[in-house]
Structure 1
Amino acid sequence: MKNSSLPLLSIARFAGLMLAACLVIAPAAHAQSVPSPKPAAEDTWSYNTIDLWSSRELGQMTLKTIGVDDDYIRLFIESKANTGNGELMMPKAFETTGRADMNSVTMFRGEREEKIMYKWPLEPGKKWTFQIRQEVPVNNTEPDSESQVLTNQFEAEVKGWETIDTPAGKFKAIKTVYKNKWSLEHNPANGLVVITSWYSPQVKREVQSISETFTPEGMPEARTRQQLLSYQVSK
């Protein structure tokens, strides 16, 4: 399928940004709704990513909140990719600023588009939609070639509370499912990406996220799980 790797790369970047921005306030563990987050400096989380087909670790990531300014946070992020023989490569580190409510705004050809990852307050059964567009090369092997529009149409739904077992322990977490139907402007390529995330109020962040890509025929392709390894947060 021509150019099918383009949307997958875009979704991988999106999933990484989504996790890097996720901070959640800590209400009671059995609360039925969750208000908008209240981040704190020095909160730290470490994750790894597992390929669900082979059970191979693909990499690790550590995030630390280094500053909070009203509705915005500053994050230090360090990531390490895993080589084919199981060794971690040299880490890559950078800082980024994001919104404390885990959402973000992008501009596409002068139009404002909002990534509404979390529609506060979160409650089981809550649903919403949003659209994100971006320009990508028509020819994947020639980045400077003519561009086309990649459209990501998301449907989100909060499913409810579950107990999730991770290397960092067991947590009560609220589950949200995102279904992204993507399509290309000048290419018949299209498909579906399903991202399922669980975050724990105790941890103030996601404890697990599963990303699954599907062909137009419904055949599963890439399948990964990102899980919490350790954390340290203020109460």
Structure 2
Amino acid sequence: MSRRLLLSVMLSVFCGSVCAQTIDAPQLKAGDTWVYSDTVQKGTRGWNNSTMVSTLEEIEGDRILIGTKRQGSTQPPSEQTFGLDWSRSRDVDGKQTVVNQPLDFPMKIGKKWEIGYTEANPPSNKAHSSETIHEIYRVAGWEDIQVPAGKFKAVKIEAEGQWTAVMARAAVGGTRTVATAGGVTAVSQAGRIDPRTVSGRLYKAFWYVPADKRFVKAVEEYYNANDVLSERYTEELVSFKPGA
């Protein structure tokens, strides 16, 4: 048997045993701690990076409480509740709604799920009178990935979607100068921008490693109506310490 054929057979056996497996929810424990390098990029205004420490503080039913703070900070951590699948929920127009779900256990290559909601007067953008988000997640497959914590074989989950917003009515004004016989006069102007609908796309990717109970890398990108990147959020695992 040639070396190329032998390698092909070995890869086929590996993929048959690993790629086809079902991935169950992790056995989370209080004290599980992840350290991430977080990078935030917003348009052309540059980027900033920080190292954040997240610790699982409590498990209650199907919810977990995570405390997060900047590495080295003496301030108490900010606390946020997640689902056991690391989904995030919040109040949307008076109803608890899942707004992000990177994982959906049990997972298998090819599995898909959707997230969708409409929110009036979203707190994240006062210029919008309403926003609609629709995302389709898909378990893409296994791949090798390098992050500060090391090299891992991770299962990649991708999400593609669209955001649509109705711009709130806004008043605009200003002054302009007009030359007259007696000199220069400042003239005030006032007007308004009527509501209009705008939309853009979004893309997310998560690399999940079962042994580390969470993703080792996450990327979230948001594009404006001209398909220009407006925001990118990146997290890369620096270290993981399981709870006692």
TM over 0.5: yes
Please, which of 16, 35, 45 is the counterpart of residue 34 of structure 2?
A: 45
2:22 is matched with: 33
Equivalent-residue separation in structure 2 for 1:42 and 1:111 (angstroms): 31
Spell out, residue by residue over 1:93-117, the C-alpha distance to the aligned partner (whole angstroms, 9 max, x if none): 2123332232354453455643444
Matches within 5 A, 1:1-235: 32-50=21-39, 57-79=48-70, 93-110=77-94, 113-115=97-99, 116-136=101-121, 148-186=129-167, 187-234=196-243
Spell out, residue by residue over 1:31-55, the C-alpha distance to the aligned partner (whole angstroms, 9 max, x if none): 6221123211111001112357899
Over the matched positions of the two proteins, sequence identity in percent amounts to 24
Equivalent-residue separation in structure 2 for 1:227 and 1:54 (angstroms): 22
Equivalent-residue separation in structure 2 for 1:54 and 1:137 (angstroms): 23
Equivalent-residue separation in structure 2 for 1:33 and 1:204 (angstroms): 15
> Contact 2:157–2:207 at 8 Å: present in 1 too?
yes
Structure 2: give runs of 5+ residues left out of the alignment. Answer: 1-16, 168-195
Say if 1:31 and 1:68 are closer, same or farther in 2 by CA, change over 3 A. farther
TM-score where L is the length of structure 1: 0.70
> When you count strand as a share of all residues, which structure comes out higher?
2
Equivalent-residue separation in structure 2 for 1:172 and 1:127 (angstroms): 21
RMSD over equivalenced CA pairs, Å: 3.3
Spell out, residue by residue over 1:132-182, the C-alpha distance to the aligned partner (whole angstroms, 9 max, x if none): 3323369x6xx5x9x721111111111011111111111111111111300
Specify the SS of the correspondent of 1:185. strand
Say if 1:183 and 1:79 are closer, same or farther in 2 by CA, change over 3 A. farther
Say if 1:191 and 1:92 are closer, same or farther in 2 by CA, change over 3 A. farther
Q: Letter of the aligned partner of 1:108 in structure 2?
A: V
Spell out, residue by residue over 1:41-70, the C-alpha distance to the aligned partner (whole angstroms, 9 max, x if none): 111001112357899652221100122233
